[in-house]
Chain A
C-alpha cells in the first residue's frame, strides 16, 4: 500500500458516509485498504445502522466486484450500502437502458389468448380484444380499444400509466396493483388514462389531459433510465 496516498476518502454527511474511491489504482488495493480502514475505524459504538454511499468515479466494477465491495462494508461495521455510483457503464448496460427507455410501436389486433410483452413503453396501434393481454415494463399507450388486460410497469415501475383511445378493460394492472372492471355491464370511456395513486395503492382512471399534471415526467429519459 502506498503510505502517503489515500485511495479511499471517507466523508461523513447527515445521510451517512460517503466513500470516495480513487479510480486510478488497482481494484485489489482498494479492497485491501477498504478492509483495513473499516477495521481501524471502530467509530461506531451505537447500534444505529449507517448508510454508505460508494463513489467509484471513473472506475468500472463488475457485478461480482460490486458484491464483494458490499460484503466488505457490511462485514465490518453497522454499515449498510446505500448506493454504488460509477461514471461509467458497459455497452450492454447502456443498450439495456436504452431498451427500457424506448417506445415500441406495434400495429396489430391483440386477440383473445394472445399476449404481447415488451420492454420499455408500448405504443399499440390497434385493439386489445377481450381475453388478450399486453404487458410492458414502461407505459402502455393503446391507439384503439382496450377491452382486454393491460399490465404496465411489469418490473415494478409504479409510476407507469396506461392510456387508451377507448378504455373498457377487463383488468388494469400497474406494477403490483390490479383493478378489474365492475360486475355490471359498463360503457367504456374515450381518451382516458389509468395511473397508480401512491397513497391508496389503487388504480385510478382520469382524463388524458389530467395525466400531464400527475406525471409531468412521463416522457423524460431519466425517469425511464432509473426505472429500468
Chain B
C-alpha cells in the first residue's frame, strides 16, 4: 500500500507543478512506482512539463464520471515504466470533481503504486479541497518572498485541520546573492515563521525553466544544483536522512566544483 502526497502552496506560480514533476521523476529514478495526479482542472500543466501532452487520451474527469477505468486514463512516462500520469481535464471545471471521488481514486491507485504525488491548483477553494481529500501527507511549496510565505502559512493552517500528517516545507527559487544582501528572506527566517519541518531547498536555476520547456524534468539532469536538490528531497521522502545542506554550504560546494571544472554559473 503506497502513500499519497499532495503538493500545495496557496499562492500560484511558486512552482507546485515543477516540484510535483521533479519529485515524481526523482522517486522513479530511485526505482519506486509513482503516479502523478494533476488536479488543476481547466489549467492543466503537469503533462506539459512532463512532455506527455500529446499522449493524453482520457483524463481525471473521465475517470470521475466513470466513462473509463483509471488504468485506461493513466499516461505512461516516456522515460520510466514505473512513472505514470493521471492528467487533468482541460475543457471541464473544478466542480466536476468531488473530494469523495478523489479519495476513491487515490485509494485505488495506492494499491498499485508506491507513491501518488498530487499536484494541487492554486487557491483554497474546490480545487484545493479535491486535491487534499485523497492525501496522506502534504508538501507545502513556498518562495522566499513575503506574499508567498503568507499564503503558505494560511495553507498550513488549513492542512492542520485535515486528517493528514503535519505538512513539510520546500523553499523554492532561492537566490543566494539576494539573501546575502538581505533583499530576500532567508530559509531560517521562513522556517521559523512557518514552524514546520523543512523538506528541502531548491535554488533559482535557469535549468529548471529550460527543462520545463523541453518537457524533461530537471531531476533527470545529473549535474545541476536544482536537480540534486530535487533528488535529495525524494530521498528524504523515502525516509533517508540526507543532511539538509544549508544554502551557504550548498552554494559554496557548487562554486568550488564549478570553479574546479571552470564552469561559469
Q: Which residues of A contact B (CB under 8 A)?
A: 109, 111-114, 126-127, 129-132, 147
Interface string of B159-202 (1 = CB under 8 A from A): 01000000000000000000000000000000001110000000
How far apart are B39's CB and chain A's nearest CB, in angstroms? 22
Contact, CB under 8 Å: A112 / B195: no
User: In the assembled complex, which residues on chain B have CB atoms less than 8 Å from the CB atom of A132?
Assistant: 153
Does B154 belong to the interface (CB within 8 Å)? yes
User: In the assembled complex, which residues on chain B have CB atoms less than 8 Å from the CB atom of A129?
Assistant: 153, 193-194
User: In the assembled complex, which residues on chain A have CB atoms less than 8 Å from the CB atom of B193?
Assistant: 127, 129-130, 147
User: In the assembled complex, which residues on chain A have CB atoms less than 8 Å from the CB atom of B154?
Assistant: 111-113, 131
Tell me whether A113 and B157 are in contact in the complex, defined as CB-CB below 8 angstroms, given that A130-B150, A131-B150 are known contacts.
yes
Does B156 belong to the interface (CB within 8 Å)? yes
User: In the assembled complex, which residues on chain B have CB atoms less than 8 Å from the CB atom of A126?
Assistant: 195
- The distance in angstroms between the C-alpha atoms of A126 and B195, with both chains bound, is 10
User: In the assembled complex, which residues on chain B have CB atoms less than 8 Å from the CB atom of A111?
Assistant: 153-154, 156-157, 160
User: In the assembled complex, which residues on chain A have CB atoms less than 8 Å from the CB atom of B194?
Assistant: 129
User: In the assembled complex, which residues on chain B have CB atoms less than 8 Å from the CB atom of A109?
Assistant: 195
- The distance in angstroms between the C-alpha atoms of A192 and B203, with both chains bound, is 37
Q: Nearest chain-B residue to A127 (Cβ)?
A: B195
By Cβ-Cβ distance, the 8 closest A-B pairs, closest first, are A111-B157, A112-B154, A112-B153, A113-B154, A111-B153, A129-B153, A114-B157, A112-B150
User: In the assembled complex, which residues on chain B have CB atoms less than 8 Å from the CB atom of A130?
Assistant: 146, 150, 153, 193
How far apart are A114's CB and chain B's nearest CB, in angstroms? 5
Q: Nearest chain-A residue to B156 (Cβ)?
A: A111
User: In the assembled complex, which residues on chain A have CB atoms less than 8 Å from the CB atom of B157?
Assistant: 111-114
User: In the assembled complex, which residues on chain A have CB atoms less than 8 Å from the CB atom of B158?
Assistant: 113
- The distance in angstroms between the C-alpha atoms of A39 and B146, with both chains bound, is 70
21 examples of A-B residue contacts, CB within 8 angstroms: A109-B195, A111-B153, A111-B154, A111-B156, A111-B160, A112-B153, A112-B157, A113-B154, A113-B157, A114-B157, A127-B193, A127-B195, A129-B153, A130-B146, A130-B150, A130-B153, A130-B193, A131-B150, A131-B153, A132-B153, A147-B193
- The distance in angstroms between the C-alpha atoms of A207 and B166, with both chains bound, is 36
* Sample of 12 more A-B contacts, CB < 8 Å, known A111-B154, A131-B153: A111-B153, A111-B157, A111-B160, A112-B157, A113-B154, A113-B157, A113-B158, A126-B195, A127-B195, A130-B153, A131-B150, A147-B193
Does B151 belong to the interface (CB within 8 Å)? yes
User: In the assembled complex, which residues on chain B have CB atoms less than 8 Å from the CB atom of A114?
Assistant: 157
User: In the assembled complex, which residues on chain A have CB atoms less than 8 Å from the CB atom of B146?
Assistant: 130
